[in-house]
Amino acid sequence: MTAASGLVRLIAILIVATALPCRAEDIVSGRWEGFARVPDDELTLVVDLAQDHDAWVGSIIIPGLGLKGVPLTDVKVQPPEVNFTVKGALGIQLKLRLDANNKLAGNLEQAGNRAPAMLQKTGPPQVEYPPRSTPVAKGLEGEWKGDYEMLGYTRHVSIKFANHPDGATADFVVVGRKHNVLPVDFVTQEGDLVAVDSHEMGFSFEGRLRNGKLTGVIRQAAIETPLVLERAK
């Protein structure tokens, strides 16, 4: 084979290769940015989707709802259909479809309401995986209690820390009009900063251990309220 004929053959192979369509799954994997049109406003959405072996994983950012890096559940990618649920108490689902322009279009659904949504791919996926729990200081182990007010009602909070070989756990209870035992995703301590997170229920607590008290804030979705916890007697 001459050098010229070899070059022609190589060019032909490259032309065929570039003409092959991308797999729809490859198109879906990435960072998607856009919005949902809610009444009188646009809700910014940033969605990251990626394949982890045979499964799909993802996370979402919705600044208007105070959500950052919240894991996705029930991710189903069956091109052109792309559906998933936002983990947490808000009950958000996105039902999308890959259109001819390689955009994801469909609806954001919550409590029977629908808002048109449109997302376009902006880069590679940046899926935020939930942080792992760390041990907490020996002085934090045990139960802490405190109260805060929201919407005219007093809420009583109890957090009980315990260390285990793979990190700390916490029993996180909020009692208002209902007795809520919150499933905890992770517990972390960095220096004197302690964080307890319940993505599923949309609650989190962050506080610093100072003068024998945990002084910080409790968050419920986008609402943030000061909270001081003291060791239970």
User: Do β-strands 55-62 and 103-110 pair in parallel, antiparallel, or remain unpaired?
Assistant: unpaired
Determine contact, residues 230/146, Cβ cutoff 8 Å: yes
Determine contact, residues 168/134, Cβ cutoff 8 Å: yes
Contacts of 185 (CB under 8 A, 6+ apart): 130, 197, 198, 199, 200
Say how far apart CA 123 and CA 183 lie, in whole Å.
33
Q: Which amino acid is at 146?
A: G
Q: Which amino acid is at 39?
A: P
Contacts of 173 (CB under 8 A, 6+ apart): 157, 158, 159, 179, 180, 181, 182
Report the residue count for the chain: 233
pLDDT of residue 205: 97
Tell whether the model's pLDDT for residue 18 goes beyond 70: no
pTM, rounded to two decimals: 0.59
Confidence at 26, pLDDT banded by 50, 70, 90: confident
> Which 8-state DSSP code applies to residue 140?
G
> CATH homologous superfamily of domain 22-123?
Quinohemoprotein amine dehydrogenase alpha subunit, domain 2 (2.40.128.120)
pLDDT of residue 53: 82
Classify each residue of 153-173 as buried b or exposed e, where b means 16 or more C-beta atoms within 10 Å of its C-beta.
Answer: eebebbbebebeeeebbbebb
Collapsing DSSP to helix, strand or coil, 81 comes out as strand
Tell whether the model's pLDDT for residue 67 goes beyond 90: no
Q: Please state which CATH class domain 138-231 belongs to.
A: mainly beta
The most confident of 19-23, 87-91, 122-126, by mean pLDDT = 122-126
Quickly list H helices, the chain: 3-19, 24-28
Distances (CA, A) of 97 to 61, 71, 79, 120: 20, 20, 8, 12
Residue ranges of domains in the chain: 22-123, 138-231
